[in-house]
Chain A
C-alpha cells in the first residue's frame, strides 16, 4: 500500500474521477493557477485545463449557485470552499437549492455536486475561522455529510461523493492535510457512503469519533487499554446518513458510549447520537451516553486557550472512565 499525505490522497481522488468522467470539474477560489490554497488541487489545471479547473472570484454564494446549476443540467461539479467558514456565505444556495431541488422539481433534477474543503479549528485562526460546521449541514434533509479521518478514507470517500447523485458536503481538516497514511493501491478505491468503520475492536466502552477528533479517540483508547478498559473505536466516516447498524452492534456489546466531536455541544453530532442510541438501545445502556465536545463558546485566538477549548485525549479518557464507573 502506498503511503500518501491527505492532500495527495484527495488530489488523487479528484484526478482519477476527472479522468474517469469528463463531466467532473473543479471550481473554487485559487484552485487553478495557485494550485489550491492548501495545494489539494495541485497539477489539475495543468492536466485538465481551464475549462475543467475554474478559478472563481471571492463570491461563495455565486459559484455555489453556478455549481448547483451546472449539476442540474448534467455536470458533476466539485466546489472547493477555501474553508467552510467561507461556505457560510453560500448556505442559501446549498440549503435552499442543492438540498431541495430534487424534491421541489418532483425528481426532474438531481444535484450531483460535492462541496469540499477544510472544516473545524485549525491552528490559532480565532473565533471566525475555526468553526466546525458539520452539525449545521447534518440538520438539512437532502444533504449527505462526509468527514474522513485518514488519507485512505479521504480518497475512497471523495471518489464515492463525486459519483453520488445527491449533494455531498465533504469536510476535510486543514491540520490533517500533511498527515501521511496508507492508501490502498487498488485501481478504483471507493468506499461506500453511510458506512461507519470499526477502527479498534473492544468490549468495554464504545468511543465514537470522526475526522480530526478521531485522533483523540484513538489515543484515548490506547491509554484506556493500559488501564484495563477495552474500548471499541468507531469512525463514523459519514455523518449523514448515520450508520446506526454499526453503532448498535457495538453498543449491544459494550453498553457504554462516549461521543467525540470538535464542534459545539448544543444540537451537535453527539446530541443526535445520544438521542438515537438511548431511543433504540435504551435497555442496553448501563450508563448515560456521554459526549465530549468543544467548549460552548467562540474559539479564542490564544494558543493555550484554543487547546483548552478543544477536546483532547484526556477528556475522552475521563468520559470513558466515567461511563465505565471507574472514576
Chain B
C-alpha cells in the first residue's frame, strides 16, 4: 500500500517549503527516522525524516522546487509496486498547487511563459498528428486543410521559431537525441529541436566544407533578446538582434512589423544609429539582467518586513554617546579572559538588557487588545547571511553576564550560518539589536522585528572631536537609533530608555555587575 508523503510544517511561520535535496533516490529504501530530504523553510534548511519504512517509489517535487504545505512530495511503498496512475494524479496535484501557491509577480510570469510555450509545442504536435491521420485514411479534407507547402510551412516555421528561441532547448538537446534514438515518444518534439553537438562533430568529419561554413557562421556573440519591464521577451529575428546590437539600438524602443510584432531587420535598418542612445557611451561590456530565485528565507523577510513597516507606526529616536570608556572596557575585558573575544556589540547588547530591565514598557509588544510586557529579555540580534537576514534570539538574556551573552551570541550566529537554527531559535524576540558598525555606518534606522516593539540600530564607534570642559579634544562617539512601535512606546518612553542606555554605554563598568 503506497504512502503519500506531504510537505510537512516544520516551523510555525512556514507556509510553503522548498526541496533542498533528496537523500533517497527513486527505488531506494528508507526506514522510519531516516533522512528523506532537506527542506528549506522560510528560515532554515531542515532535514525531513521519514515516518514510514518502505521504498521511495516516486519523487513528485524536484530539487529546488517550492510547494505549499500539504502538497504531496513523494510516494513510499513496497518494492515493485505499480503506482503509475497514482503518480500521474499526484503530479497534476503538485502542478496545480505550484500554480496556485506562487503569489509573487515573478512566479506568475514564469507560469504564464511556460504555459505559453507548452501550448505552442502542443499545437505543432497536433498539426503533425492531424496530417498523419489524414494520410492513413487518405482523407481529402486534410489535404485541403494543409497545402503542404506555403501555408503549412508558415505555421511550422512559426512553431520552430518559438522552439528555437527558447533558451533551455540547447540544454535539452542531448536528451532529445537520446530519446529519439531509443524510439521513445519524444520524437514528435524532436524535429523542431536542435540535435546535440555530437552530431555536428560527426558531420564535420565527413564534410569539411560544411564544417567550415558552420564554424564561420557560428552565432557565438549574439546578445539575448531584451525583456521589457514585465519580463516579456522582445520578439526579434536573430538578424534584427545582431543589427540592433551592432548599431546600439535598444530593441525595447523598436516596433516590430513582422508576425505577432516580431522585429525584423527592416524595422531596425532605417533607424539612426544609437536610437534611444546607446552608442557614444563608452563601450562597457553588456551585462544581461539576471533573475534570482526568491528563496524561502527571502520571501519571509519580504512578507514580515512589509507587514511590520505597514502596520507598526514607526518613529525613531537617535542618540550619540561617548564611547571611549566602552572601547577601553572591551580591551581590558579581552585581556582579562580568553573564553571569548567580546565585541563592542556584545557590550551594547548587555547594556540594552540592563536598560530594558529598567524600562519594561519598552521590552514589550503589541497584541491588538493588549500590550504584552515580556517577563524576560529575549534579545534578538540581526545576522546577515548571503541568502538573507535572520535574527536569532538569546532567551532570558538578563540571566547572562557579558561573557555568557557573548558566547550565546557566537553559538547562535554560528548555527545561523550553518542553516541549523530551529524555529524557536529565531522567533519571539522581545527586543532586537542590529549593528552595521562593521561597515563603517554611522547612523541608520531599522524596521521593527515583531513581536518586539522596538529595535536598536547601532552605528560604528568612530574617532571624533569632542568638547570636554570647554576644550576640544579627540574622542570616540557612537550613534544609535531606536525604532519604536508608537502603539506600544511613546516618544518620551523611547527617549527615557535611550537615556538609560546611554548612561550604561558611557559608564560601562556597570555592565559587569
Interface residues of A (CB under 8 A from B): 141, 194, 241-245, 247-248, 252, 255, 258, 265-267, 271, 274-276, 278-298, 300, 305, 308-309, 311-312, 314-319, 322-323, 325
Contact = CB atoms under 8 A, between A and B. Distances in A.
B191 A267 contact: yes
Nearest to B149: A315
Interface in B206-257: 206-207, 209-210, 212-219, 221-222, 237-242, 257
A293 B142 CA distance: 15
A282 B151 CA distance: 23
A300 B138 contact: yes
A280 B203 CA distance: 13
Interface of B: 128, 131-132, 134-135, 138, 140, 142-144, 146-154, 156-158, 160-161, 164, 191, 194-195, 200, 202, 206-207, 209-210, 212-219, 221-222, 237-242, 257-259, 264-266
B311 to A, nearest CB: 53
Contacts of A291: 153, 156
Nearest to B158: A288
A23 to B, nearest CB: 27
Given A283-B219, A284-B239, A318 B214 contact: no
Contacts of A317: 150
A266 B240 CA distance: 29
Contact of A194 (B134, B146, B209, B212): B209
Given A279-B214, A290-B157, A296 B151 contact: no
Contacts of B206: 141, 241
Given A305-B143, A325-B258, A311 B148 contact: yes
A140 B149 CA distance: 26
A259 to B, nearest CB: 9
Nearest to B208: A241
B244 to A, nearest CB: 11
A315 B147 contact: yes
Contact of A322 (B140, B157, B219): B157
Contacts of A247: 213
Contacts of A295: 131, 143, 146-148
A284 B214 CA distance: 12
Contacts of B258: 287, 325
Contacts of A322: 150, 153-154, 157
Contact of A279 (B194, B202, B241): B194
Nearest to B193: A275
A294 B148 contact: yes
A280 B217 contact: yes
Contact of B149 (A248, A297, A305, A318): A318
Contacts of B265: 255, 286
A292 B150 contact: yes
B423 to A, nearest CB: 51
A290 B134 contact: no
Given A252-B217, A283-B221, A289-B157, 10 more contacts: A241-B210, A242-B207, A244-B214, A280-B215, A286-B237, A288-B158, A296-B128, A296-B131, A296-B146, A318-B151
A276 B149 contact: no
A282 B213 contact: no
Contact of B266 (A283, A316, A318, A325): A325
B143 A288 contact: no
A290 B154 contact: yes
Contact of B132 (A289, A296, A311): A296
30 contacts: A141-B206, A194-B207, A243-B209, A245-B213, A278-B164, A279-B194, A282-B217, A283-B217, A283-B238, A284-B238, A286-B265, A289-B160, A290-B156, A293-B149, A293-B153, A295-B131, A296-B128, A298-B138, A300-B138, A300-B143, A305-B143, A311-B148, A315-B149, A317-B150, A318-B149, A318-B150, A318-B154, A322-B150, A322-B157, A325-B264
A99 to B, nearest CB: 12
A319 B156 CA distance: 11
Instruction: Report which residue of B153, B209, B216, B259 has the largest number of chain A beta carbons within 10 angstroms of its beta carbon.
Output: B153
Nearest to A272: B203
Nearest to A282: B219
Contacts of B216: 248, 280
B149 A319 contact: yes
Given A294-B148, A325-B264, A276 B158 contact: no
A283 B132 contact: no
B209 A287 contact: no
Contacts of B237: 285-287
A115 B142 CA distance: 35
Contacts of A241: 206-207, 209-210
Given A286-B240, A287-B264, A280 B213 contact: yes
B154 A244 contact: no
B353 to A, nearest CB: 65
Contacts of B202: 141
A244 B135 CA distance: 33
Contact of B150 (A286, A289, A309, A319): A319
Contacts of A275: 194-195
A311 B222 contact: no
A278 B192 CA distance: 11
Contact of B143 (A276, A285, A309): A309
A108 B86 CA distance: 58
Contacts of A300: 138, 143
Nearest to A267: B191
A293 B210 contact: no
A168 to B, nearest CB: 15
Contacts of A284: 217, 238-239, 242
Contacts of B217: 248, 252, 280-284
Contacts of A285: 237-239
B222 to A, nearest CB: 5
B132 A325 contact: no
A305 B147 CA distance: 11
